[in-house]
Amino acid sequence: MSGITVYPASILRRPAFPVEPPELKQEIPELIDRMLDLMYQADGVGLAGPQAGVAKQIFVADIGEGPVVLLNPSVVESSGEEETAEEGCLSLPEIRVHVARPKWIRVRGMTPEGEEVTYNAEGLLARVFQHEMDHLKGILIIDRASMAEKVLLKSKLKALERR
């Protein structure tokens, strides 16, 4: 099993492609198992397709309430009120950034069985969903950092680039 894709891998910067219905029976079940294994082994709470080396719109998440798997997700509604909290990322080891995100979101997507599903997520679950959906657009937490944080992170990012 290959590991988690780490910055500066180019797949992390490219938008992921939608999952198509034929893939649901072919490679998606195996991919889901691999992604959940990677996430749990790394003590993570979420993992997106690009982090598993696959440019597909899929993410897995588990904040301690059981795994959630969502394909082709999109935010259809969000609260106007934002909350700032520190986030880490399995693809950016040892990097933590303060990120402002809506406190509440409504997300629509598809289950691994091909059924449409809607989640009303708040708090940590909303934050994890938004973080993983950023990955599906090629956006990393360092892109959401303040200028001051970006300056402080410069040497850590350079070290990751040299790996």
Residues tagged active-site: 132
What SS3 state is found at 10? helix
> CA–CA distance from 33 to each of 38, 52, 68, 122, 150 (Å)?
9, 11, 12, 26, 34
Tokens of 87: 């986030």
Residues 6+ apart with CB under 8 A from 162: none
Q: Which residues contact 88 (CB under 8 A, 6 or more apart)?
A: 95, 96, 141
Cα separation, 65 vs 128, whole angstroms: 13
Q: Residue by residue, what is the 3-state secondary structure of 85-128?
A: EEEEECCEEEEEEEEEEECEEEEEEECCCCCEEEEEEEHHHHHH
